[in-house]
Amino acid sequence: MRCQPSLEHLGVVYEDGTEAEMVANPEVHGLRLEVFLVAPKARLREVIGTTGDRTGVERFDLRGHDGSWHSRRAE
């Protein structure tokens, strides 16, 4: 996943509401790249990005993407 450098913390929220934080990586060419591995059967709800002081928040809803991925995987 890529994000703007002002977002210092990225987390994944699973469908059941549990969260896991991604490990921060350094900025490369104006972007920060994050890698996060999840189990194939995991159901994802959203990614949340916050600034260092946790005041700025950006959310990306993954339910449509995740549901589509799981339905194609079942074929």
Please write the tens of the pLDDT for every residue from 32-43: 667 777 888 888
Asked whether 32 and 6 are in contact (CB, 8 A), the reply is no
CA gap 66, 44 in Å, rounded: 6
Give tens-digit pLDDT for 8-36. 778 889 999 998 887 666 677 777 667 77
Tell me how far apart the terminal alpha carbons of the chain are, to the nearest angstrom: 26
Q: Where are the domains of the chain?
A: 2-73
Higher local confidence (pLDDT), 61 or 36: 61
